Structure 1
Amino acid sequence: MKTAGVVVTYNRKEELVKNIKAILSQSYVVDRYYIIDNHGSDNTEKLLQEEGILDNKVIEYVYLKENIGGAGGFYTGLKMAYEDGYDYICLMDDDGRPADDKMMEFLVKRAEELHSANELLLLNSLVCGPADILSFGLNGGIKTKQIAAEREKDNLIVGTINPFNGTLVSKELVEKIGYPNKDFFIKGDEQDYYYRALKANAFVATVFDSNYYHPVLECKSFKIFGKVKKGSTEAPWKEYYRARNFTYMFKRDGEPIKYVRQNVRQILIAIKYSPKKMQTIKMILKGWRDGVSGRLGPTVKP
C-alpha cells in the first residue's frame, strides 16, 4: 500500500512550512508529498530550499504556470497522485496542519480497517482549532471536541466531514467519481467532492482520534425570520464564486431551496457587515445567475 499527500498553496509560505514539517514528522510518513504552488509570488520555493525541504525525497514541488484557484490546485494534485499509483491520497490546504504526530497513522489505519467493507472511502481528520473548539463544526450541531466525543461510535462520526483538511481519499473513490471540479476555481469544490462521494455510496466519516489543526472560521451573528444565524462575508469577488458554485451544485442536485436560502443569507450578512455592501450584493446576484445557467470557470478576477 502506497500513500501520498497533497497540499495546495498560494502566498502563505510560512504556514506552508509548518504544514510540511508536521507532515514529515508524522509517525506514519507518506511516500510522496505533492506541493502544488498556485503561481504564488512570495518566493515560496526559495524558502523551501533554505529550509532544506526540497532535498527530502518525499517532496515533489510543482509550480503552476498560472493561478488556477484552489479547485484547480486540488484537481492537479489529486490527478498526479492517482496517476502515479497511490492507494490513498490525503488532501490539505496550506493554512492547516496535523495537530500531532499521529494524525496520518490513525487516518490510514482506519482506512485499512474499513477498506474490505467498502473500497470507496472518504475519511477526514477531526478539524480542531484552539482548546476544545472545532474549526468549522460538523453537521448535527457538533461544534466542540467534547460534543464530538459524545457522538463518535467506534471512533467514527459517520456522514459528516470538513473536506480537504486532512482528507483521505481511496484510489477506488477517485476511479468512481473523478477529481475535484477545477471549473469551480475557488469556493465549494471541497463540498462538491463530498456530495459526489455520498451520491456514489462511499463510506464518509470523520476519524475522531486523527486530529488536524486549522484556525477557527470567524463568523458573524445575524437574524433571519426571527432566528439567530451565523455566517461570514468575504471580498465581493469571493462571494461571487461562493454564490455561483453552491447555486450550481444545488441546482444540479435538484435542491433549489438550498441555494435560495444560502444566497439570501449571504445578502443579509453583506447588508449588515460588508464594507462594500452594494458591490458584494451585485456579485452575489451575478453568481446566483451564473450558477443557474451553469457558467463556470474563472469568470471574475479579484
Structure 2
Amino acid sequence: MSVSAVVVTYNRLPMLKEVIGALQASETPVDHIIIVDNKSNEDTKEYLTSLGDQIEYVRLEENLGGAGGFNRGVRYFMENTTDDYVWLMDDDTVPHADTLTELTAYAAANPKFGFLSSDVRWTDGHRALMNQPAPMNRLRVIPEDATEPEQLRNATFVSLLMSREVVDKIGLPITDFFIWGDDIEYTERAGRVYPGYFIPKAKVTHKMATNVGSNILNDTKDRTPRYYYSYRNKVYYGRKRDFVGHMKSNARITMEWLKLAVTPGVEDRSAKLKILAKGVKDGRKFNPVVEHATNAKEA
C-alpha cells in the first residue's frame, strides 16, 4: 500500500516547512511528497529546490488557486507515480505521526471507499469550524469525542485520502473553481462511486489564524470579492446533485441572501449582495470541463 502526499502551497514557507517535516516523520512512511507551488515568492522556490529528491517539486507558472493546485497535484500523482493512494492537504495542515497509519488501516480493511477524511482540529484541540465533518444526515453533528467511522456527504482537502482507482474513474479536481467548493464537488463526485467516510482516529491540526468558518454575512470587507467563487461554484455542484439535493442547495442560497439583506449591521451589505447575485447568475451557465489523467499503472 503506497501513498503520495500532495501539498498545495502559496507563500507560507514557515508553515510549509512544518508540514513537510510532519510528513517525513510519519510512522507510516509516505512514498512521495509532492509539493505544488502556486508561484510563491523566491524564498519558497529556493527552499523547495534545496530539498532535492526529498520531495517532488511542481512549480506552476501562475497562481491557479487551491483548485488548480490540487488539479496539478493529483495529475502528477496519476501520471508520475504508481502509488495506490493520494493524500491531499493544504500547506497549513499538520499531520500527526499516526494520521496516515489510521487512514491506511481503514483503507486496508475497507478498500471500496470514495474518500477518507481526517478529524481536523484547530490549534487548541477543538474541531476546526471550517472543516466540520458533513454526515449524511445534515441535522446531525458528529461529536468531538467520536471514535467510530461515519459516512459523509462530502469533505475538504484538509487531509483527504483517495485511491488511484477512484481518481481514474472520476477525473481531476476542477481548475476553473479557483477557490472554494472544489473539494466539496470532488468528494461528492467520488461519493457517487463508493461511499466516503470520516475517520475520527486520523487527526490533523489545521493551523488557521483563527478558528472561524467562512460566512459572507459577517466576513470582512476585504474578503467580499472572493465570495463570487463560493456562490458560482455552489450553484454548479448543486446542479450535479439529485433533484431533492438540488432544491435544498438552492433553498440554502436563498436563505443566505435573505439573511444578508435583512440582518442589521452587515458591513458592506450592498457589495456583498451584488457579489452573491453575480455568483449565482454566472453559476447557472458555469460548465467547466472535467479533466482526466493518464494512469501510470496502465501506461
Instruction: Place the TM-score, normalised by the shorter chain, in its bin.
Output: 0.7 to 0.9
2:217 and 2:266 in contact (8 A); partners too: no
Q: How far 1:275 sits from its partner (Å)?
A: 3.6
Quote how far apart the aligned CAs of 1:236 are.
2.0
Gaps of 5+ in 1: 222-229, 298-302
In the TM superposition, residue 95 of structure 1 has moved relative to its aligned partner by 1.6
Instruction: Please state if 1:250 is matched with 2:238.
Output: yes
User: Residue 39 of structure 2 corresponds to which residue in structure 1?
Assistant: 39
Q: Say if 2:212 is the partner of 1:259.
A: no
1:195 aligns with 2:191: no
| TM-score normalised by the chain length of structure 1 | 0.82
Judge which range, 33-42 or 19-28, deviates more. Answer: 33-42
Paired letter, 2:276: I
Which residue identity lines up with residue 66 of structure 2 in the other structure? G
Runs of 4+, deviation exceeding 6 Å: none
Q: For residues 119-268 of structure 1, what are the structure 2 equivalents within 5 Å?
A: 120-135=113-128, 136-139=131-134, 140-142=139-141, 144-146=143-145, 148-149=146-147, 152=148, 156-160=149-153, 162-200=155-193, 202-214=194-206, 215=208, 217-219=211-213, 233=219, 235-253=223-241, 254=243, 255-262=246-253, 264-265=255-256, 268=259
Please, what is the CA RMSD of the aligned residues?
2.6
Shift of 1:259: 2.9
Q: 1:172 and 1:232 mapped to 2: Cα distance? A: 41
Structure 2, unpaired ranges of 5+: 290-299
Matched residue, 2:22: 22
Task: Name 2:86's counterpart in structure 1.
Answer: 89
Cα distance, 1:29–1:239 mapped onto 2, change above 3 Å: same
The structure showing larger relative contact order (alpha-carbon pairs under 8 Å, at least 6 residues apart) is: 2
Q: Write the letter of the residue equivalent to 1:206.
A: F
The count of corresponding residues between Structure 1 and Structure 2 is 274
2:107 maps to which of 108, 111, 114: 111
Structure-2 change in CA distance of 1:17 and 1:110 (3 Å): same
Aligned to 1:292: 284
Q: Distance in 1 between matches of 2:9 and 2:59?
A: 10
Letter in 2 for 1:27: E
The corresponding residue for 1:300 is none
Query: More displaced, 62-71 or 230-239?
Result: 230-239
TM-score (norm 2): 0.82
Matched residue of 1:97: which SS?
A: strand
Percentage of pairs with the same residue: 29
Give 1:132 deviation, angstroms: 4.8
CA positional deviation for 1:198: 1.7
CA–CA distance in structure 1, aligned partners of residues 62 and 199 of structure 2: 35
